[in-house]
């Protein structure tokens, strides 16, 4: 009986093990043929760490290869909350708050998560990194990342724009040329040990391709001169805004472009949106008397008047349809040259009445008003220019003197350059070239003539008249010591929200070029709502004088023969 029970038990144990062995074999069979790839992937994820390799963003250089935007290596901070004892978390949070200047609630939420990796702060300042490392906090680690840095802070801010936390362009050239600057990310599979710590060994790797570099037409020195003088006027006259453009009239290359108010590119996240706007290409305003260069050029090109033809300026009061036109200073008889020199609204209107609306409109379009010029910056607007069929009876006394028309500072820069370069409308541009890290040229911008506007002879005649504006007329404050200059003043009333012209808000402007006989630079100065003085000849002309003088002396000192040689870009005659 005893032996029989023993055998039954032995058989039961034997059958159990046979069944268990069968189960194990079946399980192994199932794992091998049905779960192999799944488990293999789990093992690979545990043993390998996929890391994206960030490319270095391209550098932006000025025309003389001085860096304006670069990338530097900085620390980012992350935590492994699972390594931090519960009793120590509050103490660590308090120290992090002091060093990183971050919100307590944010850090508490991060450190109390049940994760092995949480970001605390990206791309912190070097002094913050040093201070944190000295504290040697448990569970707090650092990763090197690349951060965009602008060594000149405010200089050319609205032109350069900025890149965000992940090195993607958000404004300005950083945005429009992002496809060249950002490069292509790489990746690597690093091996990890049993504790998930990364080893210095990699299984596979694709290296990142660094971004290409940009070379601009902007000259850092000229940009500084322009911003310095614009700043003085902006602050002295308590202006709402201001813009300045310095251009090579023969090529369309922008040598300087600045706006006020501005912002520090390294602290763009603290700047108001209004400060980021590139007013030079996206702000619309009525130009006032600077627009008279269009009427003057059209009259001479069409042979409707000559410089010595005389016009009676009605002693300062002239009725056009239902509107009475006034001059800022009453005049009697003036020659055509004197009409422009003294900026007579009445004399200019009488010339425009001889031309007729169609001719005035046609030349305004030829000079680049009412259309985009195609500059390689974001935000350019076309302005506003009504076709003659939409003109009212008083428009012939408004459009020719710069009212009922909306322009940008860039359009004025291109227009005055037409007079300076012999009658050609050039496409403005700021990017001269795209190159790789070895300096190999990938793309180059060349001067492009959009169209012929007026003849060389007419341009020379208008140049002479505009020289008279500076020597004898309303632009005397624009005289440049040691150089001749030509230009035109402008003072325009701003339009109120109700459609009426304001009596206390003005746009003061000056457009010109120097030297007058062989222009190297064209300059446009716009001051928005200056106080207490608001005339272009008083407010804007001195800015032109100071900028032109310093820039021409700089060119003479640095360029062979005192001519502007912009990186082998040929001038167009």
d(Cα 46, Cα 381) in Å, to the nearest integer?
A: 55
pLDDT at position 200 is 47
Count Cβ atoms within 10 A of the Cβ of residue 565 and give its class: 0-12 exposed, 13-18 middle, 19 or more buried.
middle
- Identify the H or E element spanning 74: strand 67-79
Strand partners, 148: 71
Delineate the domains of the chain, giving CATH numbers in brackets.
Answer: 51-81+116-132+140-216 (3.90.1310.10), 220-562 (3.40.710.10)
Q: For residues 229 and 262, is the Cβ–Cβ distance under 8 A?
A: no
DSSP-based three-state secondary structure for 461: helix
pLDDT given for residue 47 in this prediction? 53
- Mean pLDDT split into 10-residue runs, the chain, 573 residues: 66 77 75 64 53 78 94 83 79 83 82 78 84 83 83 94 86 92 71 50 63 94 97 96 96 96 90 90 94 96 94 90 88 94 93 95 96 94 94 93 95 97 96 90 92 96 96 93 94 87 92 95 97 94 96 88 49 36
Please tell me the distance from the alpha carbon of residue 192 to that of residue 6, in angstroms, as a whole number: 53
**Vertex 312, ends 308 and 315: CA angle to 5°?**
135
53's enclosing H/E stretch is strand 48-53
Q: Is 387 exposed, middle or buried (0-12, 13-18, 19+ CB in 10 A)?
A: exposed
The Cα–Cα gap between 410 and 429 comes to: 11
- Provide the token pair at 126: 């070097």
Please give the helix or strand (H or E) that residue 262 lies within, else none.
none
The dihedral sign for the CA sequence 143, 146, 148, 149: positive
Rounded to whole angstroms, how far apart are CA atoms 287 and 289?
7
In 3-state terms, what secondary structure has residue 533?
A: coil
The pTM of this model reads 0.83
Query: Taking a C-beta distance cutoff of 8 angstroms, is the pair 473, 541 a contact?
Result: no
Give the integer Cα–Cα distance in Å for 397 and 391: 10
Instruction: Give the active site residue among 289, 337, 343, 395.
Output: 289
In angstroms, rounded to a whole number, what is the distance separating the alpha carbons of residues 121 and 54? 18
Tokens of 280: 């030079």
Q: Given the structure tokens 């409308």, which residue do they identify?
A: 425
Active site residue 289: yes
Give the model's pLDDT for residue 355: 94
Structure tokens at 207: 């290296």
CA distance 573 to 571: 7
**Distance linking the first and last C-alpha atoms of the chain:** 125
Please report how many Cα atoms fall inside a 13 Å half-sphere around the Cα of residue 23, on the Cβ side: 6
The phi, psi pair for 172, rounded to 5°, reads 60, -150
Rounded (5°) CA angle 249-252-255: 85
């Amino acid at each position: 009986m005893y032996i029989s029970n023993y055998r039954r038990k032995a058989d039961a144990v034997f059958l159990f093990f046979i069944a268990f062995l069968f189960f194990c074999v079946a399980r192994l069979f199932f794992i091998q043929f049905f779960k192999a790839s799944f488990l293999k992937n789990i093992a690979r994820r545990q043993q390998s760490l996929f890391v994206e390799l960030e490319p270095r963003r391209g550098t932006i250089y000025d025309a003389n290869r001085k860096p304006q935007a670069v990338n530097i290596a900085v620390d980012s901070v992350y935590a492994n909350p699972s390594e931090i004892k519960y009793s120590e978390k509050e103490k660590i949070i308090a120290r992090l708050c002091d060093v990183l200047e971050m919100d307590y609630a944010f850090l508490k939420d991060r450190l109390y998560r049940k994760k092995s990796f949480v970001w605390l702060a990206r791309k912190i300042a070097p002094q913050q990194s040093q201070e944190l490392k000295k504290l040697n906090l448990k569970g707090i680690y650092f990763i090197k990342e690349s951060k965009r840095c602008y060594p000149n802070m405010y200089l050319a801010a609205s032109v350069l724009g900025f890149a965000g936390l992940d090195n993607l362009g958000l404004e300005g050239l950083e945005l429009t040329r992002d496809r060249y600057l950002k490069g292509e990310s790489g990746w690597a599979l690093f091996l990890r040990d049993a504790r998930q710590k990364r080893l210095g060994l990699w299984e596979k790797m694709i290296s990142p391709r660094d971004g290409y570099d940009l070379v601009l037409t902007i000259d850092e020195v000229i940009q500084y001169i322009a911003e310095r003088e614009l700043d003085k006027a902006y602050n002295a006259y308590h202006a709402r805004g201001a813009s300045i453009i310095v251009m090579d009239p023969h090529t369309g290359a922008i040598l300087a472009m600045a706006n006020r108010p501005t912002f520090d590119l390294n602290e763009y996240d603290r700047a108001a949106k209004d400060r980021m706007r590139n007013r030079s290409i996206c702000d619309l305003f009525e130009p006032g008397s600077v627009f008279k260069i269009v009427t003057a050029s059209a009259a001479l090109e069409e042979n409707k008047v000559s410089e010595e033809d005389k016009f009676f300026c009605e002693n300062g009061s002239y009725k056009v349809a239902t509107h009475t036109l006034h001059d800022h200073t009453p005049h009697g008889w003036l020659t055509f040259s004197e009409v422009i020199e003294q900026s007579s609204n009445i004399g200019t209107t009488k010339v425009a009445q001889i031309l007729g609306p169609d001719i005035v409109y046609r030349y305004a379009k030829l000079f680049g008003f009412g259309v985009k010029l195609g500059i390689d910056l974001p935000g350019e607007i076309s302005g506003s220019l009504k076709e003659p069929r939409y003109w009212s009876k008083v428009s012939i006394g408004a459009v020719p003197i710069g009212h009922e028309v909306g322009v940008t500072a860039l359009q004025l820069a291109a227009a005055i350059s037409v007079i300076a370069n012999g009658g050609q409308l050039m496409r403005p541009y700021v990017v001269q070239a795209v190159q790789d890290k070895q300096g190999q040229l990938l793309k180059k911008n060349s001067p492009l003539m959009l169209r012929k506007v007026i003849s060389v002879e007419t341009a020379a005649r208008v140049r002479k008249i505009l020289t008279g504006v500076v020597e004898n007329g309303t632009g005397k404050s624009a005289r440049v010591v040691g150089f001749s200059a030509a230009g035109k003043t402008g003072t325009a009333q701003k339009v109120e929200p109700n459609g009426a012209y304001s009596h206390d808000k003005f746009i003061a402007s000056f457009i010109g070029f120097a030297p007058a006989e062989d222009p190297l630079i064209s300059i446009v100065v716009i001051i928005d709502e200056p106080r207490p003085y608001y005339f272009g000849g008083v407010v804007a002309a001195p800015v032109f004088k100071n900028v032109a003088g310093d820039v021409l002396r700089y060119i003479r000192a640095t360029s062979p023969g005192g001519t502007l040689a912009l990186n082998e870009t040929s001038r167009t005659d």
